[in-house]
A = this chain, B = another copy of it.
Amino acid sequence: MGFLIDRRLQRVEKEISQAVIARLPRYFRYLGELKDQGRERISSRELSRLMHVTASQIRQDLNNFGGFGQQGYGYNVEYLYAEIGKILGLDKTHHLIIIGAGNLGQALANYMNFERRGFIFTGIFDINRELHGKKIRGIRVRPMEEMQRFVRENNIDIAVLTIPKDGAEAAAQKLTEAGIKAIWNFAHMDLDVPEYVQVENVHLSDSLIKLSYMINQYENGK
């Protein structure tokens, strides 16, 4: 009986975290901007106005991590930014490769902002021979055959999948064999990998379709 209650509590705790976790990158983003503006501290009320979230939501969310605020003082921006960064694993450096040197792969390779957060663009791979040797941000496109060895030898954590779905499943399997920790998946499909490989999907078509739904709903409601 006690065991059952414990398990239930654990589950509740985990659920709370999941919802909060989903909001953490956004807190991190706003705090980063405040830090860049030279702000030293901020009240939950002001942060609430800025982020369009209730102040009590902010206090509740941040309390999950020991509550970094002080009554009457508010939050120390730099400290809170650093602490949330640690929770998000951003105090560590991640080495990242991109699979697919097409438009999207190149766009992501050139997205400088990732580097600022400790995501180091280390390699890019493509099956297209014509692209091999071409340099993207100083890094040459390599053939897919070199991928597994490259992952093993260069301590690669994250692979970004930007190839069409035909090749995505096979690539994900090869990455898994090579010991990749995580896949950032832009392929238009859900990957079937072991649960020790973390997957974050960016299904662009699904996102655009959601927008179509919102337009439709709004127009039907008028």
Contact = CB atoms under 8 A, between A and B. Distances in A.
Interface of A: 21-22, 24-26, 28-29, 51-52, 87-90, 92, 94, 102-104, 106-108, 110-111, 113-114, 117-119, 157-158, 181-182, 184, 188, 190, 196, 198, 200, 202-218
| 4 A-B pairs closest in CB distance | A89-B216, A103-B107, A25-B206, A198-B214
A26 B206 contact: yes
A212 B107 contact: no
User: Looking at chain A's contact residues, is the secondary structure mostly helix, strand, loop, or mixed?
Assistant: helix
Contacts of A209: 24-25, 28, 88, 90, 117
Given A25-B205, A114-B205, A206-B29, A90 B182 contact: no
Contacts of A113: 188, 205
A208 B200 contact: yes
A207 to B, nearest CB: 6
B117 A110 contact: no
A212 B89 contact: yes
Contact of A216 (B88, B104, B215): B88
A89 B215 contact: yes
Contact of A182 (B188, B196, B214): B214
Stoichiometry, as copies per complex, reads: 2
B114 A110 contact: no
6 contacts: A25-B206, A87-B216, A89-B217, A114-B208, A198-B211, A198-B214
Contacts of A118: 212
Contact of A157 (B51, B89, B104, B215): B215
Contacts of A214: 182, 198, 200
Contact of A29 (B107, B119, B205): B205
